Chains A and B, each alone.
Chain A
Amino acid sequence: MKQLLSFVKKEFYQVFRDPKTLVMLFGLPVVQIVLFGFALTNELKNANIAVVDNAKDQASQQIINKIAGSEFFNIQKVLTSSSEIDAAFKEGKIKLAVVFPVNFYNDLMHTNKASIQVIADASDPNTATQLTNYINTIVSDYQSQLSPNSSVPYTIIPEVRMLYNPDLKGAPNFVPGVMAMVLLLVCVMMTSVSIVREKELGTMEILLVSPVKPLMVIVAKAIPYLILSWINLAAILLLSVYALDLPIKGSLFLLVAESTLLIITALSLGLYISTVTKSQQAAMFASMLGMMLPTMLLSGYMFPIENMPVVLQVLSNIVPAKWYYIIVKDVMLKGLGFSAIWKETLILMGMTAFFIVVALRNFKIRLE
Chain B
Amino acid sequence: METVIKANKLTKRFGDFVAVDEITFDVYKGEIFGFLGANGAGKTTAMRMLCGLSTPTSGEATVAGFDVFTQPEEIKKNIGYMSQKFSLYEDLSVLENIEFYGGIYGLSRSEIREKNKELISKLGLEKEANNLVRSLPLGWKQKLSFLVAIVHQPKIVFLDEPTGGVDPYMRREFWDLIYDAADKGITIFVTTHYLDEAEYCNRVTIMVDGKIEALDSPGGLRQKFGVASMDEVFYKLARQAKRSAD
A and B touch in the complex (CB under 8 A): no
Which residues of A approach B to under 8 Å, CB–CB?
none
